[in-house]
Structure 1
Amino acid sequence: MTRKIILTATTLIVLTIFSANAQEGDKKLSLTEGSIDNQFEYIFEEANNYQDYKVVKRNWLLLLKKNTLDSVARLERELASSEELTGTQKAKIDSLNKQLASTNEQLTNVTEEKDSISFFGALINKPAYKGIMWGIIALLTLILGLFIYKFKNANVVTQEARKSLAELEEEYEEHRRKALEREQKARRQLQDEINKQKLAKSK
């Protein structure tokens, strides 16, 4: 239950990021602006061609790594903030539960007392007192239901945010692995060509 309120705030954040990324998709590709996906596309389009391979500048990969890690760190900070909000709302729900239990206990005691009851210094009859107490209980129940509803929604948002964060990290690792493999292949082929040229000159 402690994670339900997080989900509301975090999902909104993630949806905002994805919405912004979708809008940036129509803009010019750049390595310093736009979504992580657009930055990958920029590298693929701007990288030099060598036979069937792409030769990517190392500083491009480092900058892309930094941008990706910054995005992950931002999501983690937002997730931590949402978790803090969840803790606050859980404390409020616990407090309301205690108040509701106390009110129910008082109501049970009152029904066993005489018809005239002192309420805040004033004597009122039993039916009126019951009406007041049940009104308070109804109000507390309504407030409790509202907090529980928000708490559940927040938990859904948190789970979705965690899933999105995990997918982003997985996507980054996959892109990084492929980029390193392409770079290593390109370097090997470049070295082979250099060796061939040296061998041809020596003949």
Structure 2
Amino acid sequence: KYSLGFFTMLMEIDFSMQRGLDFFYPGYVVPGYPRFDYKLRIGRLEDIEYYDLGHRGWQPYTRLSSSDVPLTKMEARLEALQQFLLNNNLWSQKLYYPLFEANLFGFWHAPYLDYPVFLLCSPRLQANNYLMTVYDPREDNYQLIRCSLFDDLQFYFNEAYTDSFDRRKHFLELVVIEDLLASSPSPADILQSF
């Protein structure tokens, strides 16, 4: 009747209650990705909160609209910027970046790109450099950045993992941010920085 994840979560709640704890953190959910939605089954929905990146505070989960989900907001803003760039004769390609969690797994302290989607704004500048634009939902702005390859991709991600993605839609090179070239909520300001 219950999944292993739900069952173990109930056991953790029981363990916490036996020790007189007042709160239990079940971990995160990812709106739009139902794999973790079982965590929403505990308690009353009106008691569940989400962290609003823009307001830097907790809000009732029932008020979360799909347009406020960070990935959805990033996609919408990048699509708008891509159209703006196209209207100004600049090429870009929206790519998903499944390696955005490298900071969570890395042994080397490096400024890894940590955005799940971005616009690739140029072909390779040199052998290993890329011009990219991201949308930062925490700051509500675009960032034009120059990134370079991090040589040891296989150190963090195995080949079977990276081979599972369509390279036409996903960027599968581990990169680090070299320079922040521009930061602005205005597409026109980003355009001026090219």
- Give the structure-1-normalised TM-score: 0.22
The structure whose residues are more often helix, as a share, is 1
The structure whose residues are more often strand, as a share, is 2
Greater RCO (Cα-Cα under 8 Å, separation 6 or more):
1
Q: Which has the larger radius of gyration?
A: 1
